[in-house]
Structure 1
Amino acid sequence: MLAASVTRFSPDSPADGLEVGDRPEPASRDAWTTVDVRAASLNHHDLWSLRGVGLRAEQLPMILGTDAAGYAPDGSAVVVHAVIGADGHGVGPDEPRTLLSERYDGTLAEQVSVPTHNLVPMPSDLSFEEAACIPTAWLTAYRMLFRSARLTPGQSVLVQGAGGGLATAAVALGAAAGLEVIVTSRSGTKRAAATALGAAHVLESGARLPHRVDAVIESVGAATWSHSVRSVRPGGTVVVAGATSGDPTAAELTRIFFNEISVLGATMGTRDELSDLLAFMVRTDLRPRIDRTYPLSGARDAVTRLAGGEHVGKIVLTP
């Protein structure tokens, strides 16, 4: 089968470590199901894998990808939940939690095998391309907003950065749920996109906010951390799900303890939360913003665009 794999680590130019070619079809395993992939999407997780973060050389080649939608063997349309081992299904209770493409081959292929419990019925209202955008970035944004920060309609949230899959998901989900969403970005194009997604205020990176917010969605790291800590109200929450610009050199601990700010980490969400999110999107007629769609054979071009940071929304691959 055709697949996009990391074959060597390339910290400075991730796409150089990617190879698109023939790989063996998934082997049959008890309590696992092989899905015929109709669409998959990229995440920053794929860039980290290509740079050698989270993988060892002896694991290569490893098929990339955490997100997919496709057909189960019985012909039903399904969305893949990418977290393996969190609930013990298909692997037993002692296996540590991982994402697809960390210990088991991922979704950038014509087929992917996952524990059967990880399959969620795909709503007929969604296309395969739309559904493939949801399991990582959108699910993480959903968890950050409503489980970690526990935001409710009428509250306010700052989303740092406006272009990537996580940020665009947080803006759209927050606006649909009645939150006052404030967005920062260096790019005028991305600020305009955030407005179209429902943001109440769009500002230059680092700009003073109209008021301090109840929570901050932080995935940028060093470039925005100080601004995030200064922008949240006393007793508010900063939820962290990444550090694309690296770890901050100063943690701003004095401001954090003096203002009693909570700092929480978030990664993905549960299978049940994925089901809830899919239902929420159908009921609110909310759809992921897709930046570009590439054939699987064009995975190197897709990864290059993701690494360049000019995308707005999700980048999708179709086998």
Structure 2
Amino acid sequence: MIAFTGVTALTVVLAAPAGGATATSSRPVVMAALGDSISAGFNACGWYVPCVSRSWSMGDHAFVQSHYLRLRSLDESLAWQNLNFAVPGATSADLAGQVEKAVARGADYVTILVGAQDACVSEERLMTPVNVYERRMAEALTLFRAGRPGGRVFVASIPDLKRLWRVGKGDLVARGFWAVGRICPTMLAKPASTSAADRARRDRVRARVAAYNAVLARLCVAYGPACRSDGNAVFNQSFTLGHLSKWDYFHPNEAGQKLIAQKTFEAARGWITGDDRQPIPVP
């Protein structure tokens, strides 16, 4: 079991400031997407390029029905600005810089999905330690609170990488892309292997992602009512090869982005629209 020794101290840092500057009843006016390739829509509509129009968070493509479009349909005061600061390949180390950009542009609602690349590295020993991931995420949230004390944060869980392996391991084309592109070797190397060592490796990588998600949920609770996590909705979500980009069999395609948008907005809707202020319990 992983001990989250920093949680007590981080709770103090992220506790709601005096004066009650947390979530307000008003809907957001300026929205920004933060994170990695998933929020950037990477490979969702082209060959190895970001496709922000298909982003589950900030996309303006009607099929995906992103958070932005769903909120826009409820309140047209949500102005369209292309504030998608998510970067393919980003890790938790990059989040603070993205937060600074969002603060500078006056974002009062940000979505965060980052962490897959902290686990998807060439060797297990290079995965971001849980305590380092926790520190980086806490620093980024503290920056946002300091810069936008009335702003709100939605935190999406990191997808289950072992579920991805399970979905694609029997497909020759998927295995070929994983091998040629050296995609997420910690999980996807030797995808057809049933050896005890490879099974244990996959389990350890999955456990690391689960630990990152536990950190996200705890930090969101510590942040207070101005933060909402998805309650592990993305991590627990079933999907098929039909939700994956045919360019790499790793990133979500349009259908995958739509699924993420749907499941995460179900967790955020009442909270972000002002109809519900109850936080989702920590898993």
TM-score grouping bracket, smaller chain normalisation:
under 0.3
Relative to its length, the structure with more strand (as a share) is 1
Bigger fraction of residues in helix: 2
Q: So what's the TM-score if we normalise by structure 1?
A: 0.25
